[in-house]
Structure formats: structure tokens, C-alpha cells
Amino acid sequence: MKVVLKQDVAGLGKKGALVNVAEGYARNFLIPKGLCVQATPGVLKDLSHLNQVSQQKQERQLEEARRIREIIHMANVSLSVKAGSTGKLFGSVTAEDIAQAIRKQLKVTVDKRELKLDENLKTLGVHQVKIRLHPEVEAVVNVVLSSS
């Protein structure tokens, strides 16, 4: 029996997948629990439409990520921080600090979770920080830490 999954089902497939399962499994377990619906022409048409909408959304997100990459790739973002005479900071610069600086200086919104920092920045100088804007798009921004 062909069914369309309404939710992710372990060992079977992800939401929206068209799968072939035993009729008893579908009628006695999947359908009563609301995990799937029987694949009828109307359901398949709706599934096709949802897949098209999802694909268009993903394409828009990819284009937006590429547009942002053009703005921020290899751009310099400056931060004034307090540091000792050896160049070591009093405290550290976090991903949130860098995201706010990008927002203010480059006028682009970047989520702090997109920044790939192994650890917070703790020394003066220029640090290259990778930003994963999309699974297919990555940019690098130069973070310039100077003493205030």
C-alpha cells in the first residue's frame, strides 16, 4: 500500500515522503496514529504542490545567502576592546559580539549560530571568522580587534 507520511517515521522516511508499506502496517499502526495518509490522486497532487513550494523557498534562501555573501565576504569588521600591554583581552569577543558588529557596520543580519568560532577571540589583531549562511554558501569575515 502506498502512503504519504505526515511526520518523520524512524526507519521508514521523512515527512512528505511517498512510501510503500504493508497494508496491515498502514491500516493498524500508521493511519490510526496519524503518521500517514493513503496515497490518493488528490493527496499526490497536494504533495507535488508542497514539494514545488518547498523547492522555491529553498531557492530563495540560497539566493539570499549568496547576496549576503557578496556583501560580507572578506569584509573588515572592527571592534574596540580593552586589552593589556601584551595584547591579551580583558574578557573575550563572542559570536554574539561579532554578529552585532556585522549588523551595525555592514547592515546585514547574521545569526550568531552561523558564525563558526572554535573558541571566543582573546587577543588583539585580525581574526578570520567563517560564517555558514546556507549549507551551500560560506563566507569569511575579517574581525579586527583593536585596543580602545
CATH code assigned at 30: 3.40.5.10
How many domains would you assign to the chain? 2
List, for residues 20-38, the tens digit of each pLDDT value: 999 999 999 999 999 999 9
Residue-range definition of the domain harbouring residue 22? 2-63
> Which residue among 48, 63, 78 closes a domain?
63
CB 115, CB 102: distance < 8 Å: no
Structure pTM? Answer: 0.71
List, for residues 44-73, the tens digit of each pLDDT value: 999 899 889 989 999 999 999 999 999 999
Exposed/middle/buried for residue 138 (C-beta within 10 Å: 0-12, 13-18, 19+): middle
- How many Å apart are CA 15 and CA 6, to the nearest integer? 5
Q: Tell me: pLDDT of 148 over 90.
A: no
Q: Is there a single domain that holds both residue 119 and residue 55? A: no
Q: Is there a single domain that holds both residue 39 and residue 91? A: no
Q: Tell me: pLDDT of 123 over 90.
A: yes
Q: Could you give the count of Cα atoms lying within 13 Å of 4 in the half-sphere of its Cβ?
A: 15
Q: Is there a single domain that holds both residue 114 and residue 44? A: no
Q: Assign 78 a pLDDT band (cuts: 50, 70, 90).
A: very high
